Homo-oligomer: A and B are copies of this chain.
């Protein structure tokens, strides 16, 4: 599926997708790379190059068929393939992510959650069970998730990461402000909300 698209192009695909989906179908059967570029404040050649990776062909003079382009982007991003994910750390952020509806658009399904706090075990959040962290292995065997969301405190992040990798998880989205070490066969991405806001502030 993923060929040799640069990661930086890959990151823009959801932006195009969101934009295209936000357009009303009536007036926008066709859309040109120039129009997309202008709306999103970027260069039109870059838009065309990015879109070319999805192998959705545009037509000279008219542009791209909006619905086809959406379908191609969704296809390329794997939105139609269901992907199981687990979540570790049912604090405020963890609960918010369990309740968040946006994952379904990308075919992602959080199947189960884990926490070390006995008070949280047995809870259900948005229909997902909160299990003791010891059951992680069992959950991975049961649901075969490749993805995990890590929403534990910084102090626990590395050890939970190790458990996830040992259990066979292949991709980790880490919200703890720690750079995780993991086998290089595992893809780890980091979202540091506080740091992002601080960077934003220093750009002002």
Residues of A within 8 A of B (CB): 1-2, 7, 10-11, 13-15, 18-19, 22, 39-40, 76-79, 83, 85, 91-93, 95-97, 99-100, 102-103, 105-108, 146-147, 149, 154, 170-173, 177-179, 187, 189, 191-204
Contacts and interface: CB of A to CB of B under 8 A. Distances in A.
A179 B40 contact: yes
Q: Which 5 A-B residue pairings sit nearest by Cβ, starting from the closest?
A: A14-B195, A92-B96, A106-B198, A102-B194, A96-B96
B14 A178 contact: no
5 contacts: A7-B199, A147-B197, A147-B201, A189-B196, A191-B196
Instruction: Identify the interface centre among A11, A179, A201: most chain B CB within 10 Å of its CB.
Output: A201
